[in-house]
Amino acid sequence: METNEKIRNIKEELDKELEGVEKQQELVEVKAKYLGKKGLVTELTANMKDLSIEEKKELGQLVNLLKNEVTEMINQKQQDLQNKELERRLKEEEIDISLPSRKIKKGSRHPFQRIIEDVEDFFVSMGYDVVDGPELETDENCFRRLNVPLGHPARDSQDTFYIDDEYLLRTQTSSVQARTMQANTEKTPIRMICPGKVYRRDDDATHSHQFGQVEGLVVDKDISLADLKGTLEMFAKKMLGENTKVRFRPSFFPFTEPSVEVDVTCFKCGGKGCPLCKQTGWIELLGAGMVHPNVLRMGGYDPEKWTGFAFGTGLDRLAMFRYAIPDIRYLYTNDIRFLEQFSRKDEENEVK
């Protein structure tokens, strides 16, 4: 066959073949078939060595021309495939700009956080400082300076996570009482609260191994039990509603003398008696008392001159009472269905 005819055939064949190509991979194969080392175009020069110089030149030119044309055709096809792919994707990913936008979900303050802020607001309005203390504490601050020496039976009621002989995860925010007295080198009056996390080896529906407490400490001249009573009465009404009544029962804590436990009228039945308050009408809310002389002394305050009161309560307990939460673990597992209720019921749910 004459070279020109062969060339024409090759182009026609390629043209037909390209028409059927739909994928990049197929195009790669076609390219190899024509332009590869043993491709149809290259093959044209197979018997080049038998030709005269003149013929070689002529064939060379024809083949080069063909190569350019074939390359051009394949490139063109390549471009077509890319355009098609682009079109497909644009269509597939088309954005309907007339659709209404998605609503952005509004978050809400966690009930625990809300309780802390309300407790702080109340006490700050009464002139208290809000102070902080470390969760990793010394045995000295958590127990010894609070009149709980090593071996004291009161330690049993607070099953402690010890780190080593001296360090522990604080079991009570009372540790901040010891810190605050020590840190006040001028020995001026103290009015402070300390909200924070505490840890105990407990875990069930009403106890968590980690929970929140708020501690309060007042040290001044002539502080009496009446001051403590008035303060806690106002606090209970503020947190649980104006109709809340408060009852003081004698109790024991090593760091206070006398010690009291403070009950509030059941928020559910208003004091009539119901399953929640075990028909008593009362629910225990706080531990409190007059600061023990030993604790004042260890804090550098002369108990002959200074008196004070202290109290401590569970923040989780307050949150559970206030929002009628049946299981303490809801406060920690951050289930969105639980938390969402607090954005909707934000205002109406709170006792004012």
Site membership for ligand DAH, residue 312 (CB under 6 A):
yes
CA separation, residue 228 to residues 181, 265, 300 (Å): 19, 18, 22
CB neighbours of 32 closer than 8 A, spacing ≥ 6?
Answer: 39
Give me the least distance between CB of 305 and ligand DAH, in Å please.
20
Site membership for ligand DAH, residue 253 (CB under 6 A):
yes
73 or 154: CB nearest ligand DAH: 154
CB neighbours of 269 closer than 8 A, spacing ≥ 6?
Answer: 276, 277, 281
Span near ligand DAH by CB under 6 A; candidates 95-103, 134-142, 232-240, 281-289: 281-289
Note the Cα 199 to chain centre separation in Å: 19
Site for ligand DAH in 105-124 (CB under 6 A): none
Span near ligand DAH by CB under 6 A; candidates 85-93, 110-118, 125-133, 284-292: 284-292
Span near ligand DAH by CB under 6 A; candidates 29-37, 111-119, 286-294, 315-323: 286-294
Site membership for ligand DAH, residue 174 (CB under 6 A):
yes
Site for ligand DAH in 175-204 (CB under 6 A): none
4 or 157: CB nearest ligand DAH: 157
Q: How far apart are CA 237 and CA 3, in angstroms?
A: 107
Tokens 């471009």 correspond to 79
CA end-to-end span of the chain: 104
Give me the least distance between CB of 205 and ligand DAH, in Å please.
19
Nearest to 308 by CA among 237, 247, 173, 218: 218
Binding site for ligand DAH (CB under 6 A): 172, 174, 215, 253, 256, 287-289, 310-312
